[in-house]
A = this chain, B = another copy of it.
């Protein structure tokens, strides 16, 4: 097993890209990552792409080969990976394995989703395929409904309030306003969230991540090789993935994600670290309650105290543990397959000291937490600078 490092990162501007198709946004992100790594296409010998629903959204499967083609990278091995909203994180893990195993020497990992201006009648139906189609979506349980169940139970068990959840959205919009790649560049207030329309009680529009077009990409190499390409290689010191039962009604608890806890335990063991060692973390805030549960499940705060910690500002840029400096899924946008890679891009920027207005001081170790569906897949990575 070889050490693996990130040598280049890039992402498209997230948002409603009505003038650009799937191919254009992917090429945009890919070119930025290759330029950042200062490598040419010929040096790349493998690619992994995380995309959730290109088949149902734009009628296009086989996107691994499609992207290799439009990036001019044929005949490299190019593989699409899908794990719903964790497609990016899981694709990143495949890239990590490909380099660690010695089978590949330079791999690009991309994530992408084109979700606006598409052919599907219902994006909600396409996204519903991330849960249990037969027993949840078919019965009408869309994703806001599933997370509303979790929010209600969290409120019941721990006294979490709607205002506490709102504080997550406020913080993430604050960070997004400092991220030129983010979908939303505007700050909001608790009142903005509280007065927004109810989607699935207690979740309101501003508790929900948006529909987004976007792509992100990274270049991976063996660490020793990476040092020749960059003065700031970012080492991957942990890569972990876990699964859970897919339907919410089969879970033991509605207030935690077992897959997150198991993947986190594995990741911390691999990196020989504890939550206290993490300087900055991107978590999967598809809904505000999801961020609250994540910062508890990852061990940054005790179970039940995530809402209070958020409201007290402990997860802000200058807080105990800055969470979602990119703006998270809520503020930066959530092009499903791209999200897991965007998290990696943001942490790389933070560890390289290139996050400008949203830079976390002296960030040395960062973490990404990418969830698929309502928690049936979780991919966690820990990154470190300074090799």
Residue-wise interface mask of A (151-180) relative to B, using a CB-CB cutoff of 8 A (1 in contact, 0 not): 000000000000000000000000000000
Assess A77 versus B129: contact at CB under 8 Å? Given A97-B103, A101-B1, A101-B101.
no
Assess A69 versus B376: contact at CB under 8 Å? Given A55-B129, A60-B133.
yes
A-side interface mostly = mixed
A1, A68, A94, A129: most-surrounded residue (chain B CB, <10 A) = A129
A243 touches B74 (CB 8 A): yes
Least CB distance from A95 to B in Å reads 11
B242 touches A77 (CB 8 A): yes
In the bound complex, CA of A65 to CA of B60 (Å): 22
Check if A83 is an interface residue, CB within 8 A of chain B. yes
Report the interface size class on chain A.
Answer: 35 or more
A21, A65, A100: most-surrounded residue (chain B CB, <10 A) = A65
Least CB distance from A285 to B in Å reads 19
A residues 364-383 in Cβ contact with B at 8 Å: 372-373, 376-377
Assess A1 versus B102: contact at CB under 8 Å? Given A84-B61, A129-B60.
yes
Check if A62 is an interface residue, CB within 8 A of chain B. yes
A103 touches B100 (CB 8 A): yes
Assess A372 versus B103: contact at CB under 8 Å? Given A69-B246, A241-B77.
no
Number of copies: 2
Given the complex, which residues of B lie within 8 Å of A218, measured CB to CB?
Answer: none
Given the complex, which residues of B lie within 8 Å of A61, measured CB to CB?
Answer: 52-53, 56, 82, 84, 126, 129-130
B244 touches A74 (CB 8 A): yes
Q: Which residue of B lies closest to A65 (CB)?
A: B376
In the bound complex, CA of A204 to CA of B273 (Å): 62
In the bound complex, CA of A250 to CA of B80 (Å): 21
Residue-wise interface mask of A (79-95) relative to B, using a CB-CB cutoff of 8 A (1 in contact, 0 not): 11111100000100110
B62 touches A372 (CB 8 A): yes
In the bound complex, CA of A243 to CA of B67 (Å): 10
9 interchain pairs, CB-CB under 8 A: A53-B55, A64-B377, A68-B243, A69-B245, A75-B242, A77-B240, A81-B81, A94-B97, A97-B101
Known A79-B90, A97-B97; further 6 A-B contacts with Cβ < 8 A: A55-B55, A58-B133, A59-B138, A69-B247, A74-B259, A75-B243
